[in-house]
Amino acid sequence: MQNFMFLKPNCFINDAAFDWLYPEKVQQHSKRHWTPLGIAKTAARFLAYAPGKKILDIGSGVGKFCLVGARHYPEAYFYGVEQRNDLHQYAQDVKAATNIHNAFFIQGNFTQINFSEYDGFYFYNAFFENLTDQDHIDHTVEYSASIYHYYCRYMFKQLENCASGTRLVTFHSLEDEVPPCFQLVDASNDLMLKMWIRR
Ligand SMILES: C[S@@+](CC[C@H](N)C(=O)[O-])C[C@H]1O[C@@H](n2cnc3c(N)ncnc32)[C@H](O)[C@@H]1O
């Protein structure tokens, strides 16, 4: 845990400054597992398109997307659900240290969430850890291809039931969780970041 008495005045200036807010073992996962600042800002701009919008990060990790989005869009509400308790706690700590009031963190599995309460969703391929043997965050959860397919099917159904106009941003997604009623409206040049709107 960093000593927040020495908090840098603008820790939102670049990834290194922001990641510094976390313990070293969390910083080491940043390149592979946490959303880069520029991507978070672009995704948040699309999702927080009007005041009061409620946005959920499905698998929020240490809260990077939510905290960056909340800082840049103070009139929107950013929620994150994270299955790992230690990561959830780091998100809460950095929320307090950065004095962000419009980001909220829920500890649990995304299958416990009522999707109809949100106007938009951010998804940085949270389920992919089930398909690979490399770069796991830790060994506190069970990994399997069948869990990957279960989560994708579950999310697909929840998104299908969302209201018309619901927004979705995917980052590095294989799109197994995106139902065809979501129309692609924008994407980054490398096609890793995609913006969707439910018809
Ligand atoms: C690639 S990281 C992205 C973290 C964060 N969204 C960000 O962009 O900085 C994916 C996160 O999803 C979490 N996760 C995976 N499956 C989950 C589930 N079923 N429910 C809640 N969280 C989940 C993992 O623990 C991990 O922290």
Domain with 133 in it: 37-198
pLDDT of residue 133: 87
- Rounded CA separation 59/4 (Å): 25
Cβ-count burial of 145 within 10 angstroms (0-12 exposed, 13-18 middle, 19+ buried)?
A: exposed
110 lines ligand 1 (CB under 6 A): yes
Residue whose CA is at the smallest distance from ligand 1 atom 19: 109
Residue 30 is assigned to a structural domain of this protein: no
Tens-place pLDDT, residues 133-190: 888 999 999 999 999 999 999 999 999 999 999 999 999 999 999 999 999 999 999 9
Judge contact between 118 and 137, C-beta under 8 A. no
Residue 16 is assigned to a structural domain of this protein: no
pLDDT surpasses 80 at 5: no
Residue whose CA is at the smallest distance from ligand 1 atom 8: 35
How confident is the model over 37-47, as a mean pLDDT?
98
CATH of the domain at 163: 3.40.50.150
Number of domains within the chain: 1
pLDDT of residue 135: 85
Q: What is the mean pLDDT of the chain?
A: 95
